[in-house]
Amino acid sequence: MKITNKFNVPETLLALASKQYYSKGKADFSVTEIISPPRIQRLRTKHYHEMEQDVSDMLWSLLGSALHVVAERSEIANHVNEERLFLDIDGVTLSGAIDLQHIDGKNVEITDYKFTSAWALRADKIDWAQQQNIYGYMVEKLKGLNVTSLRICAFVRDWSRREAQRNPDYPQAPIQIVHIPLWPMEETEKYIKERIDVHRSSKVSADWDEELPECTSDERWIREEKFALKKEGRKTAVKLFDDIQTATVFLSVLKDKDKHFIEHRKGEPIRCVNNFCGVNQWCSQYKKTEEENENE
Ligand code: SF4
């Protein structure tokens, strides 16, 4: 991957961004890898040498790396920082790096640090549950400890004090603890084996993009179609509706309806459109969606 420096940031930052912090060691798969779509993983591997990212777009991943380094320095009794575990399962070696384990006798509480947005924090984060439950499984199997709780320590990067005072549903502090439901061990084991299988078969049989399993709607972060009631001179929507009929009825009873209008917001795969996966230019599934949209 080529790291560019379009905004002439100090070279020290460029050097940090160019460094590979993440390694799955001698493992066949990492936990992050198996929970992500095989299409993304295979396209990244295939096109890694052609991929390009500007250092200015890597701010949060750089800060994430910095946080892990700082966290490692905090030595407190019964707390294990940054431990990488290797588990042999279903004929492969799986690796996972756990940010923090708080051990109390035979019990352990697992915590992972995440940078996230206020919006994402309020959405369902299934990938957090998947990742944390696999870590829990690894700890129980490898260390013989009883996992009592799984948590995310989330750093809300766009937190606003004003919004927190205005809206009780908004995160009330820039650091939030999110509790993750613990799955039964058998369920987690079944999930791990399914994911290994999906990745193993795509690795062996799919050299070409078209043969790769398609990313699901959840994996593409589909944003549903909405009808936004908007007011002249106001940037944000007054209210969002799932269908045009309800939006029209709502608009028709407004006293100042001539100052309002309805804006159609098409549903779209956020991860693909914004290239959060980093490979949309090589993805046949994305190209197909784009062509369908153009033909509409
Ligand atoms: S562009 Fe969309 S469909 Fe293609 S790999 Fe990325 S997330 Fe998956």
Question: pLDDT per residue over 215-231, tens digit each?
Answer: 998 899 888 888 999 99
- How far apart, in Å, are the Cα atoms of 288 and each of 5, 50, 211, 267, 295? 32, 22, 14, 16, 11
Best of 36, 39, 51, 219 for a ligand 1 pocket test (most atoms within 8 Å of beta carbon): 39
Least confident of 2-16, 96-110, 140-154: 2-16
CA 150 to each of CA 30, 88, 127, 141, 178: distance values in angstroms, whole numbers, following the listed order: 19, 22, 13, 16, 9
Residue 212 Cβ contacting ligand 1 at under 6 Å: no
Least reliable range by pLDDT among 16-25, 139-148, 188-197 = 16-25
| 208 — pLDDT class (breaks 50, 70, 90) | low
Does the C-beta of 134 come closer than 6 Å to ligand 1? no
**Could you tell me the pTM of the whole model?**
0.84
Residue 20's alpha-carbon distances to 3, 57, 67, 87, in angstroms, are 12, 16, 15, 23
Q: Band the pLDDT of 205: cuts 50, 70, 90.
A: low
Domain residue spans in the chain? 2-211, 222-295
Of the options 3.50.40, 3.90.320, 3.90.550, 1.10.3130, the CATH number for the domain spanning 2-211: 3.90.320
CA of 4 relative to ligand 1 center, distance in Å:
23
User: 58: how many CB neighbours lie within 10 A of its CB?
Assistant: 19
* Alpha carbon nearest to ligand 1 atom 8, residue: 215
Ligand 1, residues 35, 36, 40, 41: which to mutate, most atoms within 8 A of Cβ?
Answer: 40
Q: What is the pLDDT of residues 18-28, one digit of tens each?
A: 776 556 668 99
Whether ligand 1 lies within 6 angstroms of the CB of 39 is answered as: yes
What is the reported pLDDT for 209?
62
- Are 167 and 122 a contacting pair, CB within 8 Å? no
- Predicted pLDDT of residue 22: 59
Number of neighbours of residue 207 by Cβ within 10 angstroms: 11
The two tokens of residue 176 are: 């939030």
